[in-house]
């Protein structure tokens, strides 16, 4: 039973910035690939994993192809997963040439996740993306991955500084006149609301909160961390309360639409984000375990016949 206060239908279109998106349940970047490889899957009820979802946020794309970090780079824990993937991807040129057209042909609603090595590099990437895809019906916007290293500033994450967040958003916004622009925020800061304010003031239509939490796990067989780079991004059910707290801080302190991310595995989890004021929700780690997770949540929270 849905609670009495719940009035939305997450499978109906809604407006975010200049775009009308087809729904409020999305898959999170990195957790459903590029959104191309599950079209032949069917649940016992006959539905595919794209049924009812509003957007696939693509695996993050970087200017050049990346092989990613050494193995192992994904470690399951009792309540989630640690990853140190290292932004493995095909690179921007191959994405524009092969992946994005395939998403359009297959009718996959998508938000493209981008990472760059300097704030100013986002602008040319977004400009090329817009030139290629401005006629596409299913490309709805860009999510800036601001938890990547800023080479120009000694390797510090873009997302740890409000001033740098502002530069990234400003660079991208200037090249993106008619698609939604989101900034994905790190929780690994003292005040996430100030990052959201900086993004809003430079023209972000929304922020995605949160990215992964810094974590580490130890292999007792060796006495060393599981991951060769020691630390990784922790995601999954265990970070749900952290994500809810950060979303609440942004909603109450930044006056910008928030897409909630972090620990969503069930319809009840998603409802908690909506109760706090999120306009949409992304399903991440749960989607890697069950490719029908997001579609199942969308079905459970739809207000029409189910």
135-145: per-residue pLDDT in tens?
A: 999 999 999 99
**Mean pLDDT of all residues in 31-57:** 92
What are 114's two structure tokens? Answer: 């981008």
Among 247, 131, 116, smallest CA distance to 169 is for: 116
What are 9's two structure tokens? Answer: 């239908």
Which residue segments constitute the domains of the chain, with CATH numbers given?
Answer: 14-301 (3.20.20.70)
Query: pLDDT confidence of 152, banded at 50, 70, 90?
Result: very low
pLDDT at residue 147, as a whole number: 77
Q: Does the pLDDT of residue 305 top 80, yes or no?
A: no
**Mean pLDDT of all residues in 204-229:** 96
Identify the three-state secondary structure at position 3: coil
Among 200, 217, 189, 302, smallest CA distance to 258 is for: 200
* Structure-model confidence comparison of residues 105 and 41, the more confident one: 105
Q: Does the pLDDT of residue 47 top 70, yes or no?
A: yes
Read off the pLDDT of residues 1-43 as tens digits, 9 standing for 90 and up: 789 999 999 999 999 999 999 999 999 999 999 999 998 888 8
Read off the pLDDT of residues 118-138 as tens digits, 9 standing for 90 and up: 999 999 999 999 999 999 999
Q: Does the pLDDT of residue 116 top 80, yes or no?
A: yes
pLDDT at residue 151, as a whole number: 43
Q: Does the pLDDT of residue 153 top 60, yes or no?
A: no
pLDDT at residue 304, as a whole number: 57
Read off the pLDDT of residues 163-210 as tens digits, 9 standing for 90 and up: 999 999 999 999 999 999 999 999 999 999 999 999 999 999 999 999
Among the residue ranges 66-80, 90-104, 146-160, 189-203, the one predicted with the least confidence is 146-160
- Report how far residue 112's alpha carbon sits from residue 129's, in angstroms, rounded to the nearest whole number: 9
**227 and 76 in contact (C-beta within 8 Å)?**
no
Strand partners of residue 259: 208, 280
**267 and 297 in contact (C-beta within 8 Å)?**
yes
Read off the pLDDT of residues 233-289 as tens digits, 9 standing for 90 and up: 999 999 999 999 999 999 999 999 999 999 999 999 999 999 999 999 999 999 999
Place of tokens 């939490």: 213
pTM of the predicted model as reported, rounded to 2 decimal places: 0.95
**Residues involved in catalysis:** 148
**Mean pLDDT of all residues in 207-231:** 95
Residues whose CB falls within 8 Å of the CB of residue 236, separated by 6 or more in sequence, listed in order: 77, 79, 80, 81, 263, 265, 284, 285, 286
- Report how far residue 156's alpha carbon sits from residue 153's, in angstroms, rounded to the nearest whole number: 6
What are 189's two structure tokens? Answer: 């800061």
pLDDT at residue 45, as a whole number: 80
Q: Phi, psi (5° rounding) for residue 37?
A: -115, 25
């Amino acid at each position: 039973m849905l609670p009495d206060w719940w009035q939305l239908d997450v499978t109906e279109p809604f407006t975010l910035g200049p775009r009308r998106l087809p729904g409020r349940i999305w898959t999170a970047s990195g957790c459903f690939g590029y959104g191309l490889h599950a079209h032949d899957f069917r649940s016992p009820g006959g539905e595919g994993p794209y049924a009812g979802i509003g957007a696939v946020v693509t695996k993050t794309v970087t200017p050049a192809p990346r092989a990613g970090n050494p193995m192992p780079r994904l470690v399951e824990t009792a309540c989630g997963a640690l990853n140190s993937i290292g932004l493995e991807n095909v690179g921007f040129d191959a994405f524009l040439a092969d992946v994005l057209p395939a998403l359009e042909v297959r009718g996959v609603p998508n938000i493209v996740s981008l990472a760059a090595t300097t704030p100013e590099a986002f602008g040319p990437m977004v400009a090329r993306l817009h030139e290629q895809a401005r006629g596409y019906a299913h490309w709805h916007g860009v999510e800036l991955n601001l938890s990547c290293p800023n080479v120009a500033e000694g390797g510090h994450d873009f997302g740890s500084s409000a001033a740098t967040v502002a530069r990234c958003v400003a660079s991208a916004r200037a090249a993106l006149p008619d698609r939604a622009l989101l900034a994905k925020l790190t929780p690994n800061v003292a005040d996430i609301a100030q990052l959201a304010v900086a993004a809003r003031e430079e023209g972000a239509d929304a922020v995605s909160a949160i990215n992964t939490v810094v974590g580490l796990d130890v292999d007792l067989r060796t006495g060393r961390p599981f991951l060769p780079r020691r630390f990784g991004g922790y995601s999954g059910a265990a970070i749900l309360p952290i994500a809810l707290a950060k979303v609440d801080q942004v909603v109450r302190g930044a006056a910008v639409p928030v897409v909630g991310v972090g620990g969503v595995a069930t319809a009840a989890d998603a409802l908690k984000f909506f109760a706090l004021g999120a306009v949409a929700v992304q399903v991440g780690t749960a989607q890697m375990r069950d490719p029908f997770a997001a579609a199942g949540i969308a079905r459970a929270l739809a207000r029409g016949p189910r």
